[in-house]
Amino acid sequence: MRTSSDTVAELRARLERAEREAAAHQRQLERYAADLRESYRRERARAQQLRRSYKATVRALSNAVEARDAYTGKHAERVAAYGLAIARAAGIDVADEPQMEFGFLLHDIGKVGVPDAILFKPAPLSEDEFHAIAGHAEIGAAILRHVDFLDEAMLIVRHHHERWDGSGYPDRLAGEQIPLAARVFAVADTLDALTTDRPYREKVSFAEARQEILRGSGTQFDPAVIAAYETIGDDMFARLGESVRSSDNG
Ligand SMILES: [Fe+2]
Protein backbone atom coordinates (compact mmCIF):
# COMPACT_ATOMS: atom_id res chain seq x y z
CA MET A 1 0.00 0.00 0.00
CA ARG A 2 1.33 3.44 -0.99
CA THR A 3 1.81 5.88 1.80
CA SER A 4 1.80 9.61 1.48
CA SER A 5 5.58 9.65 2.17
CA ASP A 6 6.06 7.37 -0.91
CA THR A 7 4.11 9.87 -2.98
CA VAL A 8 6.17 12.76 -1.65
CA ALA A 9 9.42 10.90 -2.37
CA GLU A 10 8.23 10.08 -5.86
CA LEU A 11 7.19 13.66 -6.50
CA ARG A 12 10.53 14.91 -5.21
CA ALA A 13 12.38 12.45 -7.45
CA ARG A 14 10.34 13.60 -10.46
CA LEU A 15 10.98 17.18 -9.59
CA GLU A 16 14.72 16.58 -9.31
CA ARG A 17 14.72 14.75 -12.65
CA ALA A 18 12.82 17.59 -14.25
CA GLU A 19 15.28 20.10 -12.78
CA ARG A 20 18.24 18.10 -14.07
CA GLU A 21 16.69 17.91 -17.51
CA ALA A 22 15.92 21.63 -17.49
CA ALA A 23 19.51 22.42 -16.45
CA ALA A 24 20.88 20.15 -19.20
CA HIS A 25 18.57 21.79 -21.68
CA GLN A 26 19.71 25.23 -20.60
CA ARG A 27 23.40 24.23 -20.92
CA GLN A 28 22.69 22.96 -24.41
CA LEU A 29 20.97 26.23 -25.35
CA GLU A 30 23.91 28.19 -23.97
CA ARG A 31 26.25 26.07 -26.09
CA TYR A 32 24.13 26.77 -29.17
CA ALA A 33 24.12 30.47 -28.40
CA ALA A 34 27.92 30.47 -27.95
CA ASP A 35 28.35 28.57 -31.24
CA LEU A 36 26.05 31.02 -32.99
CA ARG A 37 27.95 34.01 -31.59
CA GLU A 38 31.24 32.49 -32.70
CA SER A 39 30.05 31.76 -36.25
CA TYR A 40 28.54 35.25 -36.48
CA ARG A 41 31.87 36.75 -35.34
CA ARG A 42 33.77 34.63 -37.88
CA GLU A 43 31.34 35.51 -40.68
CA ARG A 44 31.62 39.19 -39.87
CA ALA A 45 35.40 39.03 -39.86
CA ARG A 46 35.30 37.20 -43.21
CA ALA A 47 32.91 39.78 -44.68
CA GLN A 48 35.15 42.62 -43.46
CA GLN A 49 38.20 40.94 -44.94
CA LEU A 50 36.36 40.50 -48.22
CA ARG A 51 35.35 44.17 -48.25
CA ARG A 52 38.94 45.19 -47.56
CA SER A 53 40.14 42.96 -50.41
CA TYR A 54 37.56 44.46 -52.75
CA LYS A 55 38.63 47.94 -51.81
CA ALA A 56 42.34 47.15 -52.17
CA THR A 57 41.69 45.63 -55.60
CA VAL A 58 39.69 48.66 -56.71
CA ARG A 59 42.42 51.00 -55.41
CA ALA A 60 45.09 49.03 -57.27
CA LEU A 61 43.11 49.31 -60.52
CA SER A 62 42.49 53.00 -59.96
CA ASN A 63 46.17 53.65 -59.22
CA ALA A 64 47.16 51.72 -62.36
CA VAL A 65 45.08 54.15 -64.43
CA GLU A 66 46.40 57.23 -62.66
CA ALA A 67 50.04 56.12 -62.88
CA ARG A 68 49.91 57.06 -66.58
CA ASP A 69 49.12 60.67 -65.90
CA ALA A 70 51.58 62.57 -63.77
CA TYR A 71 49.27 65.58 -63.64
CA THR A 72 46.15 64.16 -62.09
CA GLY A 73 47.95 62.65 -59.07
CA LYS A 74 45.35 61.29 -56.70
CA HIS A 75 42.44 62.72 -58.68
CA ALA A 76 40.31 59.58 -58.26
CA GLU A 77 40.85 59.46 -54.48
CA ARG A 78 40.00 63.14 -54.09
CA VAL A 79 36.92 62.83 -56.29
CA ALA A 80 35.83 59.84 -54.22
CA ALA A 81 36.24 61.85 -50.99
CA TYR A 82 34.35 64.88 -52.40
CA GLY A 83 31.71 62.66 -54.00
CA LEU A 84 31.01 60.72 -50.80
CA ALA A 85 30.67 63.97 -48.85
CA ILE A 86 28.19 65.35 -51.40
CA ALA A 87 26.31 62.03 -51.48
CA ARG A 88 25.96 62.08 -47.68
CA ALA A 89 24.71 65.67 -47.84
CA ALA A 90 22.16 64.53 -50.46
CA GLY A 91 20.81 62.04 -47.93
CA ILE A 92 22.36 58.91 -49.43
CA ASP A 93 23.44 56.31 -46.87
CA VAL A 94 26.90 55.73 -48.33
CA ALA A 95 27.65 52.92 -45.87
CA ASP A 96 24.85 51.00 -47.61
CA GLU A 97 26.30 51.79 -51.03
CA PRO A 98 29.92 50.58 -51.04
CA GLN A 99 29.91 50.41 -54.83
CA MET A 100 29.53 54.16 -55.05
CA GLU A 101 33.08 54.73 -53.83
CA PHE A 102 34.33 51.98 -56.16
CA GLY A 103 32.62 53.67 -59.12
CA PHE A 104 34.13 57.04 -58.16
CA LEU A 105 37.60 55.51 -57.90
CA LEU A 106 37.32 53.63 -61.21
CA HIS A 107 35.50 56.27 -63.28
CA ASP A 108 38.32 56.71 -65.82
CA ILE A 109 39.48 53.07 -65.98
CA GLY A 110 38.49 53.05 -69.67
CA LYS A 111 41.35 55.46 -70.41
CA VAL A 112 43.62 52.41 -70.52
CA GLY A 113 42.04 51.88 -73.95
CA VAL A 114 42.89 55.36 -75.25
CA PRO A 115 46.33 55.82 -76.90
CA ASP A 116 48.76 58.13 -75.05
CA ALA A 117 49.26 60.22 -78.21
CA ILE A 118 45.59 61.23 -78.06
CA LEU A 119 45.05 61.24 -74.31
CA PHE A 120 47.99 63.57 -73.67
CA LYS A 121 47.91 65.56 -76.90
CA PRO A 122 48.77 69.15 -76.01
CA ALA A 123 47.11 70.59 -79.13
CA PRO A 124 43.35 70.86 -79.77
CA LEU A 125 41.71 67.55 -80.66
CA SER A 126 40.22 66.60 -84.00
CA GLU A 127 36.68 65.24 -83.98
CA ASP A 128 37.98 61.67 -84.32
CA GLU A 129 40.37 62.18 -81.45
CA PHE A 130 37.60 63.59 -79.28
CA HIS A 131 35.51 60.47 -80.05
CA ALA A 132 38.46 58.26 -79.16
CA ILE A 133 38.71 59.94 -75.75
CA ALA A 134 34.95 60.00 -75.20
CA GLY A 135 35.02 56.25 -75.79
CA HIS A 136 36.68 55.76 -72.39
CA ALA A 137 33.29 55.73 -70.64
CA GLU A 138 32.07 52.76 -72.69
CA ILE A 139 35.45 51.02 -72.63
CA GLY A 140 35.46 51.33 -68.82
CA ALA A 141 31.98 49.85 -68.51
CA ALA A 142 33.01 46.98 -70.81
CA ILE A 143 36.09 46.28 -68.66
CA LEU A 144 33.93 45.95 -65.54
CA ARG A 145 31.01 44.17 -67.21
CA HIS A 146 31.65 40.73 -65.76
CA VAL A 147 32.78 41.78 -62.30
CA ASP A 148 29.78 40.97 -60.12
CA PHE A 149 30.75 43.09 -57.14
CA LEU A 150 31.12 46.14 -59.42
CA ASP A 151 27.82 45.97 -61.30
CA GLU A 152 26.54 49.25 -59.84
CA ALA A 153 29.97 50.87 -59.94
CA MET A 154 29.94 50.10 -63.67
CA LEU A 155 26.93 52.41 -64.10
CA ILE A 156 28.92 55.30 -62.65
CA VAL A 157 31.81 54.46 -64.97
CA ARG A 158 29.55 54.40 -68.03
CA HIS A 159 27.59 57.54 -67.20
CA HIS A 160 30.13 59.80 -65.51
CA HIS A 161 30.18 62.20 -68.48
CA GLU A 162 26.41 62.50 -68.94
CA ARG A 163 24.98 65.96 -68.37
CA TRP A 164 21.69 66.93 -66.71
CA ASP A 165 20.50 68.63 -69.93
CA GLY A 166 21.12 65.49 -72.01
CA SER A 167 24.10 66.81 -73.97
CA GLY A 168 26.69 64.49 -72.39
CA TYR A 169 27.94 61.06 -73.45
CA PRO A 170 27.88 58.15 -74.17
CA ASP A 171 24.07 57.69 -74.01
CA ARG A 172 22.91 61.32 -73.87
CA LEU A 173 20.82 60.51 -70.79
CA ALA A 174 19.06 63.50 -69.24
CA GLY A 175 17.78 64.41 -65.76
CA GLU A 176 16.94 61.53 -63.50
CA GLN A 177 17.67 58.99 -66.24
CA ILE A 178 21.27 59.49 -65.20
CA PRO A 179 22.08 57.31 -62.17
CA LEU A 180 22.13 59.49 -59.04
CA ALA A 181 25.67 58.45 -58.13
CA ALA A 182 26.86 59.59 -61.58
CA ARG A 183 25.13 62.97 -61.05
CA VAL A 184 26.92 63.32 -57.72
CA PHE A 185 30.18 62.31 -59.36
CA ALA A 186 29.88 65.01 -62.04
CA VAL A 187 29.98 67.77 -59.41
CA ALA A 188 32.86 66.18 -57.48
CA ASP A 189 34.85 65.65 -60.70
CA THR A 190 34.48 69.25 -61.81
CA LEU A 191 35.38 70.48 -58.32
CA ASP A 192 38.65 68.57 -58.38
CA ALA A 193 39.43 69.47 -62.00
CA LEU A 194 39.07 73.19 -61.21
CA THR A 195 41.00 73.10 -57.92
CA THR A 196 44.07 71.25 -59.20
CA ASP A 197 46.66 72.44 -61.73
CA ARG A 198 46.29 70.98 -65.21
CA PRO A 199 48.62 71.33 -68.20
CA TYR A 200 46.26 73.82 -69.84
CA ARG A 201 45.35 76.01 -66.86
CA GLU A 202 46.13 76.85 -63.28
CA LYS A 203 43.97 75.83 -60.37
CA VAL A 204 41.43 78.16 -58.79
CA SER A 205 40.27 78.36 -55.15
CA PHE A 206 37.38 76.27 -53.85
CA ALA A 207 35.30 79.48 -53.61
CA GLU A 208 35.96 80.34 -57.29
CA ALA A 209 35.27 76.75 -58.31
CA ARG A 210 31.94 76.96 -56.47
CA GLN A 211 30.88 79.99 -58.50
CA GLU A 212 31.65 78.16 -61.72
CA ILE A 213 29.89 74.97 -60.59
CA LEU A 214 26.77 76.90 -59.54
CA ARG A 215 26.57 78.32 -63.05
CA GLY A 216 26.22 74.74 -64.32
CA SER A 217 23.21 73.92 -62.14
CA GLY A 218 20.32 72.74 -64.32
CA THR A 219 22.49 72.41 -67.43
CA GLN A 220 25.53 70.30 -66.59
CA PHE A 221 24.49 69.38 -63.04
CA ASP A 222 21.43 68.12 -61.17
CA PRO A 223 20.06 71.11 -59.15
CA ALA A 224 19.28 68.77 -56.21
CA VAL A 225 22.90 67.59 -56.11
CA ILE A 226 24.03 71.22 -56.31
CA ALA A 227 21.77 72.00 -53.31
CA ALA A 228 23.51 69.20 -51.36
CA TYR A 229 26.93 70.49 -52.48
CA GLU A 230 25.94 73.96 -51.26
CA THR A 231 25.53 72.65 -47.69
CA ILE A 232 29.25 71.78 -47.55
CA GLY A 233 31.76 74.55 -46.87
CA ASP A 234 34.89 75.20 -48.95
CA ASP A 235 37.03 74.56 -45.87
CA MET A 236 35.56 71.06 -45.61
CA PHE A 237 36.47 70.27 -49.25
CA ALA A 238 39.93 71.74 -48.71
CA ARG A 239 40.42 69.47 -45.68
CA LEU A 240 39.21 66.40 -47.59
CA GLY A 241 41.55 67.18 -50.51
CA GLU A 242 44.44 67.73 -48.12
CA SER A 243 43.83 64.45 -46.27
CA VAL A 244 43.99 62.56 -49.59
CA ARG A 245 47.17 64.38 -50.60
CA SER A 246 48.85 63.48 -47.31
CA SER A 247 47.69 59.84 -47.25
CA ASP A 248 50.08 57.19 -48.58
CA ASN A 249 47.65 54.78 -50.17
CA GLY A 250 47.77 56.40 -53.58
FE1 LIG B 1 36.23 60.49 -67.59
pLDDT digits (tens, 9 = 90+) for 49-93: 998 999 999 999 998 888 887 666 789 999 999 999 999 999 999
Per-chain mean pLDDT for the chain: 92
Cα of 186 vs centre of ligand 1, distance in Å, is 10
pLDDT score of 191 more than 70: yes
Residues 194, 142, 137: CA angle, nearest 5 degrees = 20
Cα of 38 vs centre of ligand 1, distance in Å, is 45
Residue 70 or residue 200, greater confidence: 200
Cα of 159 vs centre of ligand 1, distance in Å, is 9
Cα of 110 vs centre of ligand 1, distance in Å, is 8
| Distance between CA atoms of residues 186 and 137, nearest Å | 13
Residues 61, 100, 103: CA angle, nearest 5 degrees = 35
Annotated active-site positions, please?
Answer: 111
Indicate the pTM of the whole model. Answer: 0.83
pLDDT score of 250 more than 50: no
